[in-house]
Amino acid sequence: MMQLIVAVALWGLVGALAIGTRRRTDQSILYAAVMIAVSLTLNIDAVYFAADGVLGGRNYADLPANLLLLLGGC
């Protein structure tokens, strides 16, 4: 449940950042927030199991989730 709350809160942040994109010339914070939000969304159990099932069921959804988290934090 906590995973869902955190993911929804971060998507709210992405929405707020997206609204203000026209005022900023540097969009890197928006890109980072999107990558982290996608990563946290993939770490919700139900979403992870569904994505992993589509990708073959061998934990292939874990690698993109972790890479997005690392890239978003850079």
23-68 confidence digits (pLDDT tens) = 878 889 999 999 999 999 999 999 999 999 998 888 888 988 899 9
At 40 the pLDDT is 93
- CA angle, corner 49, sides to 29 and 70, nearest 5? 25
More confident residue, 21 or 68: 68
Provide the whole-model pTM. 0.84
